[in-house]
């Protein structure tokens, strides 16, 4: 079992899926990826999450994000489950579900937590950038549904941070003020980067609007 840290290049793998075999890095190409795991097919909480992801596929596409799910059952089981998801959640699943029957991907991404279960994956979320770097992780207990509004929010925050070289305050949403990071201290460089000016209630707390 490996341990992944933020900033690590995520492992590549080949595995079967609901849409056929996938070579992960090749499939991801130059997109962001959200990889989220499930303990088993035909489970109630996960059914709602996969349906929600299906309904959010356009939102992910706007952000150049490819969703991909994982469950420990085989591809035929996944395809049967997708029929139930589409029916009960009023959606059409167009993204892959990895068939991880041999737990290969679960081991690579450290998804088996023995104090939860020695046989099924915990419900993890991995946000991966186009350079295949791990940028953010969440891990949820089996009984608690994931917050996909928060997943979209942190993707927006990561992309805004990368694009503008800024940080984001707590509860930030697109359009809100951002923070000039402490790594940027030169006044001339700050004025050149943010000619619109900024407010600083404390020398270390500098807010700026991106307009």
* C-alpha closest to that of 99 among 125, 126, 68: 68
What's residue 110's pLDDT? Answer: 82
* C-alpha closest to that of 82 among 71, 93, 68, 90: 93
Q: Is the pLDDT of residue 112 over 80?
A: no
30/90 Cα distance (integer angstroms):
30
Q: Single out the catalytic residue among 19, 46, 70, 157.
A: 46
89/78 Cα distance (integer angstroms):
16
28/211 Cα distance (integer angstroms):
31
129: Cβ contacts below 8 Å, ≥ 6 apart: 32, 135, 158, 162
Instruction: Provide DSSP, 87-105.
Output: HHHT----S-EEE-TT-HH
**23 — alpha (psi -120 to 50), left (phi > 0) or beta?**
beta
Per the listing, tokens 């000016």 go with 197
Confirm whether 46 is a catalytic residue.
yes
Q: Which of 119-123, 155-159, 173-177, 180-184 has the lowest mean pLDDT?
A: 119-123
Give the 3-state secondary structure of 132-167.
CEEEEEEEECCCCCCCHHHHHHHHHHHHHHHHHCCE
What's the pTM?
A: 0.92
Q: How sure is the predictor about 118, in pLDDT bands with cuts at 50, 70 and 90?
A: very low
What's residue 121's pLDDT? Answer: 56
Cα distances (angstroms) measured from residue 194 to each of 63, 108, 207, 208: 24, 42, 11, 8
What's residue 64's pLDDT? Answer: 98
Q: Beta-carbon neighbour count of residue 73 at 10 Å?
A: 19
The more confident residue out of 122 and 51 is 51
Q: Are 113 and 122 in contact (CB under 8 A)?
A: yes
Q: Is the pLDDT of residue 1 over 80?
A: no
Residue-wise pLDDT for 124-169, tens only, equals 899 999 999 999 999 888 788 999 999 999 999 999 999 999 999 9
Residue-wise pLDDT for 75-111, tens only, equals 999 999 999 999 999 999 999 999 998 889 988 998 7
Cα 74 to the center of its chain, rounded Å: 23
């Amino acid at each position: 079992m490996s341990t992944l840290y933020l900033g690590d290049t995520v492992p590549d793998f080949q595995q079967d899926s609901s849409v056929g075999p996938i070579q992960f890095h090749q499939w991801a190409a130059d997109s962001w990826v959200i990889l989220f795991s499930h303990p088993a097919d035909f489970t109630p909480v996960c059914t709602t999450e996969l349906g929600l992801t299906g309904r959010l596929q356009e939102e992910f596409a706007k952000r150049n994000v490819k969703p991909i799910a994982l469950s420990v059952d085989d591809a035929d089981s996944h395809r049967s489950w997708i029929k139930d998801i589409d029916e009960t959640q009023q959606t059409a699943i167009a993204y892959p579900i990895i068939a991880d029957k041999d737990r290969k991907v679960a081991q690579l991404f450290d998804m088996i937590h023995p104090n939860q279960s020695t046989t099924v994956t915990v419900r993890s979320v991995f946000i991966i950038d186009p350079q295949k770097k791990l940028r953010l992780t969440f891990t949820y207990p089996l009984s608690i549904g994931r917050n996909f509004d928060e997943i979209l929010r942190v993707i927006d925050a990561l992309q805004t941070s990368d694009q503008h070289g800024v940080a984001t305050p707590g509860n930030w949403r697109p359009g809100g003020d951002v923070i000039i990071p402490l790594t940027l201290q030169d006044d001339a460089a700050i004025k050149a980067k943010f000619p619109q000016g900024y407010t600083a209630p404390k020398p270390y707390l500098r807010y700026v609007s991106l307009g």
